[in-house]
Amino acid sequence: MTSFCGSISVVPQILPFSFGDEPANAGDMSVVQCAVVKGDSPISISWIFNGVEITPGYQGILLSKTNQRISTLSIEAVRAHHSGEYTCRARNAAGEAEHMAYLNVNGTACICKLFFLLFNLLLYIAINTTIIEYNTNVTCFDLQ
């Protein structure tokens, strides 16, 4: 019989969280809590917003630690620019875990504005191309 007298490191495990099923309205407060329910200490917790690590005061987002295993992200008054993907990342010597939740803010017009601008640009190009193609008074000069 073989006995093992070593320690087994446990990777962090994050309790799933969400911003809720309904979109937030501009001006609403939004809060989520990242709780690391398993994993060996020490554990570090960080937050990422749309691929960018959140630093203190970043875009009005507040981070607070209740203890080594719980971190809270809060936004006192959400705005359109707060819409996006929020990820909690927990790390220890054994590895890391991540959990992501999406915050949707009513009135977020960024995507709609982008499509509107692209539509207008394509319409402008189509109209100008059509005018040039059917304008018989266009003269081409050879500049050689």
- What is the per-residue pLDDT for 108? 57
Distances from the Cα of 82 to the Cα of 50, 59, 75, 104, 108, angstroms: 10, 8, 9, 8, 9
pTM of the model: 0.70
- What is the per-residue pLDDT for 123? 64
Tens place of pLDDT for every residue, the chain, 144 residues? 555 555 789 999 999 999 999 999 999 999 999 999 999 999 999 999 999 999 988 999 999 999 999 999 999 999 999 999 999 999 999 999 999 999 999 975 555 455 555 666 666 677 776 544 444 443 433 333
Question: Distance between CA 41 and CA 20 in Å, rounded?
Answer: 30
- What is the per-residue pLDDT for 132? 44
Right CATH for 13-103 from 3.40.190.10, 2.60.120.260, 2.60.40.10, 2.30.40.10: 2.60.40.10
- What is the per-residue pLDDT for 55? 93
Domain positions in the chain = 13-103, 108-136
- What is the per-residue pLDDT for 112? 47
